[in-house]
Structure formats: structure tokens, C-alpha cells
Amino acid sequence: MKKLCRCLFLCFASLLSSIPLLVFATEQSYSVSNVEINKSERDDRRYEVIRLINGINVLLISDEKAVKSLGALALPIGSLYDPKLQQGLAHYTEHMVLMGSKKYPNPSDFSEYLSAHAGSYNASTTLNRTSFYFDVENSAFEGALDRLADAISEPLFDPKYADKERNAVNSEFTLSRSNDGFRIFQTDAETINQNHPASMFSGGNLETLSDKPNSQLHKELVDFHHKYYLPDIMSGVLYSNQSLNDLAQLAEKTFGRIQVNKNKIQKINQSAITKENVGKIIYMEPAQPKKVLYIQFPIENNLDKFADKSDEYIGYMIRNRSPNTLFDKLQKQGLIESINAYNDPIRYGTSGVFSIYVNLTDNGLDERDRVLASIFSYLKLLKKEGIDKRYYDELQKVLALEFKYSDITQDMSYVEYLSDQMLLYPTQHILDADYVANHFNKQAIEQRLESLTLKNARIWFIAPNQKTDKRAKFLDVPYQIENISTSQINQIMKEADQLQFSLPLFNPYIPDRFEIDQKPTKEEQLINQPFNPKGNYFHFASKYFAEDPKAAVILSLRNNFVDDNVKNQVMFITLNYLVKRQLATLNFQADVAGIFIGTFNDSGIEITANGFNQHILALIEATLATYRTFDIKEEDLALAKSWYLERLDEADHANSNSLAMQPIYAITGKTYFNRKDKRQAISTVTVEDLQNFRQQLLTNSVPYMLTFGNLSDQQALELYKTVKNHLNSDIEYYPDSTWDINHQINAIITQNAVSSDNALFMGFVPKGYDKIASGNISMLLSQIIYPWFYDQLRSNEQLGYIVSVFSFDISNSSGIGFLIQSNEHDPAYLNERYQAFYPVILERLNALSDAEFDNYKQSILNQWMMPAQTFYEEFGDYYVDYYDSLFKFDTKRKSIEQFKLLTKNDVIEFFKQSVIQQNGLTIASEVIGNQPDKELNHVKGLTPYQNAAELQRVLSSL
């Protein structure tokens, strides 16, 4: 189950109200908290919180198994503190502090240092906080911390970079115009209390971030940093393989030098949503094809009651998918796809919202009042009968299990999250605040349910062709707001009184046994099973998580017909959609119980389950049984067709960089058919077609099964044999053929975007390299050259906000790809700048010293050779080879062996062959933005292809 209380927006008021640190004096210039941090009994990391002499609270995490070191610094200041005349200033400041500092004046120093040491960084600004975070190899931790600390403490704010970063902020703004989350956010800002700072435009653009008669941007920037970047309100996180004492000294040496400014920050006291802002209906047109009912109820900031989980209890009940609950009835009536409910108590700083979010079907949009009546009828049932400690105990147990057996992925998002937690919660609960549920507060639940009324709601209908009479500023979002009339309320509640629902069933899949049932994996087991066209079964024990009561199972019924024509592909997707609707209750119960289960395409039906081991095989069996037996009705097929056509429309409406990558992903996958053919195919599918196709899938397929972890090999093998007995034993399966790039060919695919942004992907795959060699070299090459490309084309030339270099696959070969999304420049100009910079890259590659190259290489190798950090990471190594039918399960070992042999000359030669001489595949995927008032030029000199399907046919035939 997802974490129930991870808040995205942080507030200064929460910091002020949190429990103060209890400290004892030391000889160092920092103090150590004597408050013990709650951690899982299975967590062997060491934790400590110190307060530096300048006031920064720093969480230290010592983990001798850490693959990388991670650092983060956060402050409870965000866009709510923007000056009225410089909206977006907090975001702009976040950008500018990283553009050179007193000790490290080169703006690219931080990124290049991290890249040279297998690292990366990011920063983000919300309404309530700004955060900076990075990861880096362990040996380079101090250098990365020093650079971040110097940027925060003594940024240069060189005016020559001002316009560049204004343009960077503006590029983010242009991206947001097609993002419906941002569009809702801005429309919300214009329809709440206009005296609250949340009503401002938080992202910023060239218009808002500019010199004005009474406000000079550069002065405001310097003043904002001086006023709000205060160490005594900051939180930091250091995570590494070093000892706590060493980490404390690192924090003192780096974060400890951030300069103290004694400024007092004014609290925000206004209410964001007043009584004038509720009892409203808001109609909004989305940028993407969707149909949404979104209900907001204003709530107070009750973060100090985080351990009650009262609002989370209500959300848990609303989301439940048991028979005859709100979700179950609306889904079976064909009115909704999904329903979610969640709370954000500090959405606006000192107040928040409780929200219900519903994805509607076409029928649901037409019968929106019926859906509303159902929601308020169910809320009425919860008020009357649904406040029951047994449900709370279930929620409490689920959260406790999730915390005890949590898998922590050690990347920079983890320390970003922890630095946020430090701003929100007492020291004791930094780690477990999202999982604590120790007070069943019946009165609080009753009071909240009493407030969830139509009169106290803001009801959004987000769908195409809504009635609108306004446009949200900057993002140009069509919307209309009106009062909910008394007659509407009476009509909806009258219908609500006539509806009947049931409370959820108690979950039968929450584990109560945590058995360990695995034996060490025999190495010979990895090589003694060649691929068998009649099927294979594999079981592996975990090498690193032998004491975890977890397992992972993949059952694949593979065949050679599921993808061989467009109608079969469309029927599989349609059938999979229908079975997922049938499995909604089972999947929800499993998810809550800590087990993921899903159905996918692995040359046929794939059923995947992973999580706690107690019920995992039973869930696989139940899923397969549902697939075999559920009824397919005409109304179900009509619903599936509508859903599928909307997915195709979504692909057409993707943002420009995603559109540019779509052909690349399509070419390297299974046989691809264009969306026009898919639309035609879905129109011809009948109920009888689906029934016959399902019978084929469940009869004329070959079983393959991979099990991993703490699971009875005997029981899993019995399941495999049972499945095999249901299949036609005469059928054989052979993996799809792959192909290498062994010819020189150039190609370009052009698409038109709905949004205004252009994009250009240029990819180069040299001929004559095998899969492992090309994959290794392109991965290392991208790691080296990405910061150079980014610094020149994004930071210096400001060509766009999304600027990237990465390795990509084309069937059995890999190459190097360059991508930019730009609102200002067309693909032809972007390609000119690419071409101009390729020789610079070659020059810089040649100039790399052997020591510098070895450092890049070794940093990647160190990560690769470290033991898996989570159960699922270890399982992933087996899954990659299983999916490709490489049943020696030795691809990773072979890749490491080959990678060790790479030389600088290998990388240079690869770049020369692929990019400079273009001796292989050269592929351009360009996207022309919707800018009717501007002439946009195409990339010239390449062979045009209509779509990815046509190019895939050519490449696979060479």
C-alpha cells in the first residue's frame, strides 16, 4: 500500500510547532540530540540528529552497505513567500543559487563533479519548501557536500546568468501548459481567497520575473536569499557508509559554514479557502484526454495529530474495493475507472484539503450527478456505521508491516523525502511518521465526516468540451466557476438517500505468518536449464535477503501469435483491461496486504506477484481462474473500446519530448503497428472475437515460470505443473528474433504536437557491435558527455529546459541519443547546434586524462558490483534475463567482465563511428510544435519514414 501521509507541501508553521530537540553539550561545534529515532527492528543503519552551531538540524545515517552517498538540504520557504511583484521568485532563487558560488564560480562545477563520480543532483520548489539533493559515489561525498554548502551560503548571483535562468524557469512554465496537474493548480489558485499568497502564480515566467518600476529582479533575488535562506530553519541529511562521527564532522565542515542571518519570518495567517470559496462547481478543460470528478473539502492543518491517522482512515474506507462498496458499485455500473481519496493538511501552508479524485468513464461523465449522489450516500453510511475500531486496527497493522519490512531505495529522492520529514515532524518520528497509527480518535473522524458536505465542497468536472467563460492566467486554461444551487444539492441528496452500499469486508490477505522457507541457490542451477520451447520452471533463493518473508513469482503463458497482427495486439490489451476490472477487489486487497499482483503481456498472459509470501501462490491461482471464467458482455466491450481509444488519444497528446521518444521505444519492442491501424482494429473487435482469443491464450500457449525468495519450491512447482496440464502439450514457443545494426542507414520520423513545444531526438547506433559491448560503451559515454552537452546547450545557449544525453536500445544494439525540447527553437536549428557541438565532445573525450577516464569507469563499476540493496533489485537481475529467455542468467556477469576491459580509445572510437562518421544507424525523431504564427523548419538530409512501424519493418529485414 502506498504511504498514506507523505505530504508534498511543507510549512514553516509546522517547524515552529514541532517538538524541540533535546541535546547535550559536546566539545564540538555541534550538539547531538538524545532523542531516539524510531526505526524498524530490521533496520541496521545507525541514525543521529545533530544541531550545528549555525542552527541547521542534520540527520546523519551511517550505513556500511551504502552503495552511494546521499545529501540533502531543505528550508521551509517556497512560493508562498514570493513578493507580489516577482511571482516565481522562490523558484528562480532555487535555480540561481546553483549558478556558481564564491569557492566554485563555474556554474557547471557541481554537475560535472557529480557526473565524474557517478552522481546526479536535483532541486525543487513547492509552495512551502525548497529542497536541494544529490547522490554521488562514497569517495566523493565531501567534495559534493562542500559544493552544495558553498552554493547555499555564498552564491555569486552573477547577473550574466540571470536571463539564462529566467529562460530556464520560463521553459519549465511552457512545459506545464500541457500538464493537467499544473493546470488544476493554477485554476485552483485563481478560485481560492485572492488575499492568500497561494493565489499567486508560483512557477514564474519571463513576464512575472522581470524588472518593474518598483521592483528590480536582481535586488529582489539577493534580498530573498538574505531574508529566507536561514540556517536555523534548514534541515539537512547526510547518508553514507562513513561512521556517525565522521559524518558529523563532514556536516560541521560543510553545512556548518552556511552563514547566519538573524531575520524573523512572518507567518501566513490567512485562510486559503473561505466560506466564499466553497459550495462551488468548477468546470475545466484538460490538456490531455481525461474525464475527472475532483472534490475538495477545506481542512485545518492537523499535522500535529499525525499519529491519529484520522483522515487517512476515511481515505482508506473510501478507496476500499470490497463488494458493494462505493468503488465496486460504480465500477460495475460502468461509471468509473478508479477512485482515490487523500488528505494534504498543509496544501496551502496553514490549511489544507481532503480530496476525492475519480476517473470517470464516458457514461460516468454523462451521469455525473449519479456519481456525486453515490459518493455522498457512501459518506453518509460511513458517518452512520463506518467508524469502527476494527477497520482502524486493520489500517494500523498494515502500516506497521509496511514500516517493518520496508524496502528503501537509496537514491537522492530518499534523502529529499527525509529532509522534508525533518521540517514536519518531531525528531523521534522522522522515519515512522507516515506509518504510526496509535490513537483511534473517533471524535475527530466524526467531525471530519460531518464537514464533508456539498455545501462545504469545491466540485471539479475536468473533461473536454466543458462550459467555460474564463481562462486561467499564464497557462490559458479554460474554466468556469459557479455556485452549487440549493435545488442541485436537494436533488443530489435525494438520490443519495435512495442508494445503498455496504461497508468493506475485512482483508483476508493481510499476512500473519512470516515463514522463512528457502535454501541457498546452487550456482549450477543457473546453467543447467537451456531454453525449452515446451516451457521452463526456475526457482531461486535470495542471496542477500534470505530472512525476508517475501517472494516474487512470474507466470508467463507464451505464444507466437499474440503480437503477430494488429488485431491480436489490440484484443490482448482490451482483454487485459477487462480482466483488471474483474480483479479490482482482489488487487486492492493484495496491495493493502503488501503484495503487488498484476497482469501484463509477455508474448502472452503474464501474471506477476511480489511481496509477502504467505498468500502469493493463492493470488496467482485466483488471478488465473478469473482470467479463465469472467463473463464478457457487450457493455463491457463498449467500455473497453472507449478506454482504449482514450489511451490512443493520450499518446497523441503527449508532451513533445515524450512524442519524440515514442518511435524509438516502438522500434525496439515487439512488432509495432501505428495508432491509425489500432483504431481501425479496435472497431472490428466483437465479444465472440475476445472469447475465442482468450481461449487461444489459455490453451495454445507454453508455460514459463520464475519464482524467487522465500517460497516453497515444491508448492510453486506444483502450481506450474497444474497450469501446464491445462495447456496444449503440442504447442511450442520460440522467442521473437532480434536484429543487429550491420548496415548504414539514416531515417527521420516527423510528428506534430498538440502543444507548442518542439523537440528533437538524434540517435546514433554504430554497426558491428554486439549487444553487451554497445550497451556498455554507450552507457559509459553518456555518463561522461551528458554534463558537457547540458552545460553548453541548456545552461549557455538556453535551447530548452529538457536537455538530455542517454544510451538507448534498438533491438540487439545500443547507441547514444541526444534530446532537447524547446519552445523557442525548431528542430532544424536544434540539429545545427547538435552538429556544432559533436566535434567539441570528441575534442574533450580526447583530452580526458587516463586518470579521469578511469574514475568515470570505476565509479560505474563500483555501483554495478555492489550487492543488491533491496529484495526487488536482486529479483530484477533475474527478471531481465527471464524476459529475454536468456536462461543462463549470466548477462550481468558477462556485462561486468566486458566493462572491465573498456579503454578510453574504445569509447572515442564508438563516438567517432556512431556520431561523427555516422557509420551505422542515424535516426532523427522530430516533433513540430503547434505554433501557427511561426515558420518551423525540419531537419534535412535524412530519409523520411511515415511512422515507426514502417522503419521497424525496414530495419528488421536488413
d(CA 845, CA 853) in angstroms, rounded, equals 9
d(CA 658, CA 46) in angstroms, rounded, equals 41
C-alpha cell at 683: 472497431
Q: Where are the beta strands (DSSP E) in 473-548?
A: 477-483, 536-540
SS3 324: coil
Concatenating the DSSP letter of every residue in 458-472 gives EEEEE-TT----EEE
CB atoms within 10 A of CB 837: 17
Residue of 41, 48, 94, 524 marked active site:
94
Q: Number of helices and strands (H, E) in the chain?
A: 31, 26
C-alpha cell at 69: 552517498
Length of the chain: 958
Contact 275, 435 (CB under 8 A): no
The amino acid present at 642, given as its one-letter code, is S
Contact 236, 73 (CB under 8 A): yes
Q: Which are the contacts of 682, defined by CB distance < 8 A and separation ≥ 6?
A: 570, 574, 641, 644, 645
Contact 404, 42 (CB under 8 A): yes
Q: What angle do CA 853, 857, 861 make, to 5 degrees?
A: 165
Q: Which residues of 679-715 are buried (b: 16+ CB within 10 A; e: fewer)?
A: eebbeebeeebbeebbebbbebbbbbbbbbbbbbeee
Q: Examine the residue annotation and report whether 220 is marked as an active-site residue of this protein.
A: no
Report which of 871, 875, 898, 822 is spatially closest to residue 657, judged by C-alpha positions. Answer: 822
Query: From its phi and psi, is residue 163 left (phi > 0), alpha (psi between -120 and 50) or beta?
Result: alpha
C-alpha cell at 174: 511552457
Contact 958, 739 (CB under 8 A): yes
Per the DSSP assignment, residues forming a β-bridge with 23 are 33
Strands 130-137 and 120-125: antiparallel
Report which of 807, 802, 796 is spatially closest to residue 833, judged by C-alpha positions. Answer: 796
- Measure Cα distances from 571 to 566, 641, 691 in Å: 9, 10, 10
With helix as H, strand as E and coil as C, how does 239-277 read? EECCCHHHHHHHHHHCHHHCCCCCCCCCCCCCCCCCHHH
Report which of 485, 497, 197 is spatially closest to residue 347, judged by C-alpha positions. Answer: 197
d(CA 635, CA 548) in angstroms, rounded, equals 44
Q: Which residues of 600-616 are buried (b: 16+ CB within 10 A; e: fewer)?
A: eebbbbbbbbbbbbbbb
Cα 334–chain centre separation? 29
C-alpha cell at 603: 508474448
- Measure Cα distances from 491 to 281, 295, 377, 460, 484 in Å: 15, 18, 12, 18, 11
d(CA 874, CA 868) in angstroms, rounded, equals 5
At which residue does the C-alpha cell 550487492 appear? Answer: 867
- H or E stretch at 813: strand 813-822
Report which of 703, 693, 749 is spatially closest to residue 565, judged by C-alpha positions. Answer: 693
- Percentages helix, strand, coil for the chain (3-state, rounded to 5) are 45, 20, 35
* Catalytically active residues, by annotation: 94
